[in-house]
Chains A and B, each alone.
Chain A
Amino acid sequence: MEAVHITTPLDRKIIKELTAGTSVLISGIIYTVRDAAHKRLIEALKRKEELPFILKGQTIYYAGPSPARPGRTIGSAGPTTSGRMDVYTPRMLSVGVKAMIGKGSRSMEAREAMQKYKAVYFVATGGAGALLAQTIKKATVVAYEDLGPEAIRMLTVDNFPAIVANDIYGNDLFEQGRAQYRKEKG
């Protein structure tokens, strides 16, 4: 299956072409943001404070990497469960986040927000953190360093493999895939 090469930031034209089930190889800049960092960003938005990085147009990666050994860019860096971030997703998309990378399915509310704000969700292979780390060429902590693995990191990735799970048309790969391979039994 031929994967589509895409480069961040993802513009409207690319996003329109990304339909559920499409394999992609992502290059460019993505930001790690998971549970605790989401909480802080949302609180900062509420208080109308300046954010540590511009969210508009960005791709965020739900990940908390393991520490880098000396001389290395990063440790193991696979996706974490996206469902925990669903409550924050409508707000994040409303300020311009265009793509999310994680693992597992999303809530109906998050999916509706993706349609409304024209954003996509990619699934990456959970538990393949060593392999995925090989595509990360640069990693810099940009905010919340005190959160350790949950700090926000700016990553430069080269051909990071993922699959479109939710597109702007309301398709859901988890539902489609399971329906296709489920064998009904009494």
Chain B
Amino acid sequence: MKKGVAMLLIAAMSVSLAACGDKGSAGSAGAGDAGNAGAEDAGSAGSGDEDAGTTPEAGDTEAAPSGGSAEPVAGGTVNIPITDDPTTLQGWMMRNSNEGVISPAIYETLLKYDETGKPQPYLLESFTGDPEALTYTLVVKDGITFQDGTPLDAEAVKWNLDYYKENGVLTGSYFNYVDSVEVTDEKTVVVHMSSWDALFDYGLARTCFVCSPTAVESLGPDGFNEAPVGTGAFKVTKWSHGEGIYTERYDDYWQGKPYLDNVNFVIYSSTATQQAALEVGDLDVMNLSGDAVTADALKAKGYNLTNAAIPSTGYTLCFNSLADGPLTDVRVRQAIAYAVDAEEICNSLLGDGAYGEASTQWAVTTSAEYNSEVTGYGYDVEKAKALLAEAGYGDGFELTINFQVGDFAKSVCQIIQAELQQIGITVTLNQIEVANYADYLGEWDGILFHPMGLGNGQFSQVAANMIPGARFGGATFLHDEESVGLINEAIVSDQETLSQNLKGAVKILFQDNVELYTVAITYSTAVTSPKLHGDYGSIQGNGATWHELWKEAE
């Protein structure tokens, strides 16, 4: 009897061990970085992004050749995971990471970021600004129609701009200076600004998804939410709340009829179930961010991995330079910068730089917004110790580092904790729940390890956040006259001055004052089934050329 029970016990344990031991199982996939996704995802997710396929040097990590025939095949369904129900499908309200996955298939923006992170006309033929006249002139491309068959013309663009100004989720941030919108001919719209805003194009590329005015007016906002109509390659056929969003191809898509019949966005809340579903073919794509463990495991199994061309997140040490204590001394901040080995952190946690890299600022070298004068602080423990001693903190001090819950952030902060211990700084880590994180954005104790969304570039984030009155760091950043002056002048200037000034502000913030210290810049990584061809891009799906995606027949 006892023997039988023992055998049963052994059998149960063996099965359990087998399940836990397999890399493809949930155990290994549990390193999903859900916390990170929920952070400053608005920036990365909703933002326009460049076609990853056109810039393979910008972080393409493809592990296996596409394989199969080179001839595209029409038909088929692609299933893409999202982690939760989108909060909305209204183009003027979409902003979070899940909505960022869905929106590019349905909607498009008037402008779109190029590979250097600069907004360029997309649904527009041209976009020109006149700072003297305080106007932006938008000329709409010919032959674009909404999925309900109505044309995208000047009237439709005006309606969208007016509607966004009135109802858009980020209208207070991006449409503040829009005074009125005028249609001058069938294809031309003139936007009159109350004050010049050199970053208006970033707002248009970022968040203002173009919706069909006819559909909004006939269905009403609530009805439109369930059956949204944009100019994208796929139109929504059904939103099954809690399950997913189902779309079918839009045959009259302006860039050509899509190959795929359907693209479904299905809810898989955990990385573990997503990985399992990908491996049995229930999913065709998986989006990762800063999760090298899962990415490497899938790469080893022959899945294709593609990084977005534009970085998604800049993990940054944000110093509270105003509160009484050691951090008010720039030498202490410099010492911390010297003591943190960002290169090594990126190598060890981001697959030897395959999924991210170290940088001295919120941009990478390929970006037009990168300031090469910001050289940063190399890893030098002795220099760090000397600076601390010079500042009168040779015996060290106690410091808090706050970070939002997430595997990647936690690992980085633990490494930094150990590194700072070497120079006598005793770090207490404070892990913050996603829902509480917003409470820390205005003021924090010590350092905030912040995942800054970089989907809309460095300039936009610096201009929006590093000024007095901004929600982020309002009570912790120095807001010194010079950097604030440069930013304020940049916003009301032409593009050349904008770039020059904001690069100057970046130098002050990251190099001179060390108010910010970038530890890692990560890319969104798309893991795609070998049967899926074309360029899915990554989670920042604005880069995907949806109509060119095709799937090998089963």
To the question of whether A and B form a pair in one complex, the answer is no
> Which residues from chain B sit less than 8 Å from chain A, CB to CB?
none
